[in-house]
Amino acid sequence: MLPYRLQMWLGRQLGNLTYLLMPKRRHIVKTNIRLCFPELNTEEQQKRVKESFASVGMSVFEIGLSWWGNHSALMQLHKPDGLEHLEAALAKNRGVIILASHFTTLEISGTFLAKHTGLLNIVYKRAHNPLFQWFIENKRSQNNVQLIKHTRIRDMIRALKRGEIIWYSPDQDFGVKDSVFAPFMGISTCTLISTQRLARITGALVVPFYTERLANNSGYVFHFSPAIKNFPTKDDVVDSTAINHAIEQQIKQTPTQYLWGHRRFKSRPAGEADVYQK
């Protein structure tokens, strides 16, 4: 019920506090920033680390807005950019895979997008905390979306073959099974191959998407890019490289709004050391 700008200010303070109180997470974020932005000096990298924590703090308040806020007022805070790319892909009636990477604006993105289409299915992995999981299932369902567990591949295929939208976020490291190593931010990165498998089976188009939190706290722009061309191929490394490249382009636009707290480079090619080891 607080004014939006005040909520974002409070979120920034929460992020600053977690920066101080979470040394293990701080180390992960610092490592990721150092690896992905080697062209920055130490001071510039440190600034991005702190800003990324502030962004996570703001996302906590955005979850509250998404689940309990006044959606009529919330919708006044956003504007779409490139919505025609999603509409063009849907018009082909082959299903659409929304390539939605893990930005800190992820939760509020789903709320915005659900107001523009009744065809949205969100693929999710169960939370470890049962109470948080209950809120995820109930609040997201109230936002006019269908939820599909990440293990329910047949449900994803059925939805795509009906010409619907699958929201899929493949940019996390779940180990080498069903993954290949492909370049991401200049680093050989363990990358899930699920996206291209779904596209091969169904003929669905893959449309990159992310939401940008405006720097002056005036709201959000959610961006769609054209469907990835010549996708999928028969080569998983080529396809994973294309997916990682699309995510890279988004990160370069708003680098501190990406979720750097995940150990994205946890799995390493044979012979490479653990990059997170102190």
pLDDT for 8 equals: 96
Give one DSSP letter per residue of 218-244, joined into a string. Answer: S-EEEEE-PPPTT---S-HHHHHHHHH
The reply to whether the predicted model has a pTM over 0.85 is yes
User: Are the CB atoms for 146 and 159 separated by under 8 Å?
Assistant: yes
pLDDT, greater one: 137 or 196:
196
User: Are the CB atoms for 206 and 228 separated by under 8 Å?
Assistant: yes
Reported as a single tens digit per residue, the pLDDT across 77-117 is 999 999 999 999 999 999 999 999 999 999 899 888 888 88
Q: Sort residue 123 into left (φ over 0), alpha (ψ -120 to 50) or beta.
A: beta
Reported as a single tens digit per residue, the pLDDT across 46-59 is 999 999 999 999 99
Give one DSSP letter per residue of 261-277, joined into a string. Answer: TS-TT-S--TTPPPTT-
pLDDT for 184 equals: 97
Least confident of 141-145, 264-268, 269-273: 141-145
pLDDT for 138 equals: 72
CA distances for 82 relative to 176, 185, 221, 223, 224, angstroms: 34, 24, 10, 6, 5
134: pLDDT confidence band, cut at 50, 70 and 90? confident
Query: What average pLDDT does the segment 59-68 reach?
Result: 92
pLDDT for 158 equals: 95
By the 10 Å C-beta count (0-12 exposed, 13-18 middle, 19+ buried), 160 is classed as buried
